[in-house]
Structure 1
Amino acid sequence: MTIALAGLAVALGALVQGTVGFGIALVSVPLLAIIDPGLVPVPMLMLATAHAMLTLRREYRDTDWAGVGWALLGRLPGIAIGVLAVALLPPRWFGLAVAVVVLGCVALSVVHWRPRPTVPALLVAGVVSGAAGTASAIGGPPVALLYQHAHGARVRGTLAAYFVAGSLLSLAGLLVGGQVDADAVQAAAVMVPFLIAGFALSNPARRLLDRGWTRPAVLALAAGGAIALLAQTALG
């Protein structure tokens, strides 16, 4: 029963990210933390990496490779900031700051702001994403918001490439830290069929989203992530 419930959580997250471009951690991690905490964070990170690879294979022709490079360049100092924030600041204050920034960007986008993936914007988004992802596990919205006006395949492919590189860096760090073991690999392997099922369901779903619904989905999911982070901060 536990495997089935955990699998449904993974499949749902895979469906959302395969359709919108991000959100697997946002959807799956809170559920898995209740159903089977052993799947968080290392097995889930492995699954997220596998999902990003599947998406990249499907959407690589539409990926903004230059944008990925600039965002990753910003992510490196962002990771350092996130580590420093975890060490020096109360988690709730940092989480609150990230949530407020994301909600502010969503609000501006709804009103009149039209963000573009320029080099300075990508560098800043990479810094914020790296810091937020390291300290709170919610790193997708800052970069996704820059591509909200792009077509769906562009959003999914670009974020997939960004997530592959970022997740592999994180896994390498966890491996060096001794947190990746045989149990984590086995736990992730059990969830792979559910991940593939959710990803497969995203094929027809993304066609529906690409009919003009990509931007509302990105904004809604980014806002949802910020609200979830606010709730996590309040409960913490």
Structure 2
Amino acid sequence: MNPEWLTGRLCAGHGVASGTSKESPYPDGTIRMQFPVFKGLGLDLSSCYFGTLNLDFAPLEVSLTNPDHLFEKVQWTELHPPETFSFWRVEIKTTEIEVVSGWIYYPHPETKERHWQPPTTVELLAPHLSGVDPGCTISLRDQRRRIKLVDTIRLRARLLEFLKFRVLASQQTFFEADALMNRRQWLSTMFPEALQLSELDLDLVWTQARSLYTES
């Protein structure tokens, strides 16, 4: 059974990747500058347009795992510290008859100084596509099923409820034990769905559980 198409809405970007922003320090666009660097690392993106498509799935957040390529601490300009990039090969569909191959382009936010994307948005690299404007819908599909859309607010609430009776029964010893055990390892057995949450989201839930369910 083929994986499902995930449909989002095209939104306007910062104009830095393409170089269209007048405030950008990269008049040629960051993508044009980065392509030769990525090619030297083994990823040829010459079939792609010098810019990104920003696809938004709000209110759902995008969870990505196991990239096809991971390039760490890439020095692509003197104007920015080295960045880490991940890429996922995907199919991109703009109409029922137009399907092209492209990439999810993910500059890791922890190595990025500015122009971050919200967790509901992915940036796509693709051949030049006609008839796409902000507000139109675009679908993508990953044959390896590494892309998940997560209702983060609801999942955090469910995890908090799951922790409730465990914390009430154990009080602070629950958190002491948690410090000794890898949290994700524990969740993989007890509540594997929560592994879709980021470390920041897990920290928020743990903090809430401590505040709500332990005696002061």
Determine if the TM-score, normalized by the shorter chain, exceeds 0.5.
no
Tell me the TM-score normalised to structure 2 length: 0.27
- Structure (1/2) with the larger strand percentage: 2
Tell me the TM-score normalised to structure 1 length: 0.26
- Structure (1/2) with the larger helix percentage: 1
Q: Please say which structure displays the higher CA radius of gyration.
A: 2
RCO (CA 8 Å, sep 6+): is it higher in 1 or 2?
1
